Every structure is written in C-alpha cells, then in structure tokens.
Amino acid sequence: MESDSNAFLQAMLQYNGADDLPLPSYFIEKDMLVQTFDGNGIWRQLNGSLSATWTPSNIFNMQAGGGYMYNRYSRVADLSAACWYATLSANIYLKDFAIFLRGSTPQKAVSLELETVKTIWQYSISATWSKGPFRAEVGFNNPFLKHPYYDMNILLPVYNSSSRRYSKTDSQSAYLKLSYYFDFGKKTKHDKVNIDKTINSGILKAN
C-alpha cells in the first residue's frame, strides 16, 4: 500500500456582470399592483473561494472548500444578497469497492425574478463495486431530508412577498445501477505509436 501524502491548495476569485437586463418592475396604479419589465437592469456578482485537497494515501482522499458570494441588482431595483458557503467531499477506495461522500451548506442569492432565494443543505453517499466487466452502484441523496423547501422572498418598496417552495429534485432518494460492458476492441487492429517523453516542452512528440 502506498502511503505518500500530498496536499493541494487552490484559490479563485471570479467576477461576473451583465448590463441592460430585462427585470420585473412593480408600481401602484389606481390601488392595484402592476408588474411590467424594464430592460435597464444591472447585475454584478463577486465570488471568492478557497479549496484544499488532501491525499494521505492511495486509498483515501478528501477535499474541503468554501467561499463568499455576493450578487446585486441595481437601477431597476436595488437588491443584494451575500453568503458564506462550504463544501466537503471524501473518497475511499478498498480493492473492488469505492465509497463517495458529499456535502454542501446552503447558499443565498437573488434571482432574475428579483427573488432572494436560500437553498438547503445537500449531502449524499454512494458506493460502487466493479469486477471485470461488471459494475454496480448504489447511492442515497439527502436520505434524512423529507421536506426540502426553498425560502423565497421579494422585498421591494411597493411589493413584499414570502413563500416556501418544495423542491422535488432535492428530496430524499435512492438509486441502484447495474452494468456490464462488452469489449469490442479485441478484434480491432491497433497501430503501435511510440511517444517520446524526453522533450522539454508540454507537447508530446510521436515518432
């Protein structure tokens, strides 16, 4: 068993933006709420993240990450949302078996509908077994979450709304996959290509 340990650290800073976005606009006319669209919207988003990967041996590795995300809509409406978030994953390899663990914290952002949306915790576990051409996989998504709801809020000077929406795709679920592959390459003729790996460049040259 190899036991060489190594770690990898990565940082990222991302900035996105768009001008002249069509955004919903609300106003009061004759005691009624009127919704229209204004094409002068501005959107800006800043996302900074840091992730670390640790591989203590050839049978286990894990990755942890997190960051800060801020997004804002202006001109048509002045709305913003910010959140800290984190993710964690681990992989375990034992002979013909592999186990995968995943998890992430909720996030908060403003959508194109000017709704402030808060997501939920996400977590999953899956395992695979492979032997020759046979492969089996079983997995569970959010196994302890029966009622996943997203909190939605619209907070504007003339219109306020709060709601909770059920997310069917994020509800608890399980799956089982069985597969068998056929190797058709045994009857196919392959040309032998020698690769010269001694070149001092990032390009591999074929002889």
Ordered per-residue pLDDT tens for the chain, 207 residues = 455 678 889 999 999 999 999 999 988 988 898 999 999 999 999 999 999 999 998 899 999 999 999 999 999 889 999 999 999 999 999 989 999 999 999 999 999 999 999 988 999 999 999 988 899 999 999 888 878 888 899 888 888 888 888 888 888 889 999 998 876 655 545 444 454 444 444 444 444
Q: What per-residue confidence (pLDDT) applies to 207?
A: 42
Q: What's residue 17's pLDDT?
A: 94
Residue 165 has what pLDDT?
86
Under 8 Å between Cβ of 67 and 84: yes
Q: How far is 197 from 23, CA to CA, in rounded Å?
A: 55
Q: How far apart are CA 4 and CA 176, in angstroms?
A: 34
CA-CA distance, 45 to 23, in Å (whole number)?
16
Closest by CA to 124, choosing from 161, 79, 90, is: 90
Per-residue model confidence (pLDDT) at position 81:
95
Strands 97-104 and 79-94 come out as antiparallel
Q: Which two tokens stand for residue 143?
A: 């196994």
User: What ranges in the chain are assigned the alpha helix state H?
Assistant: none
- Provide the pLDDT for residue 159: 86
pLDDT score of 40: 93
Can you give the pLDDT at residue 187? 53
Q: Which among 5, 41, 42, 11 is positioned nearest to 23, based on CA atoms?
A: 41
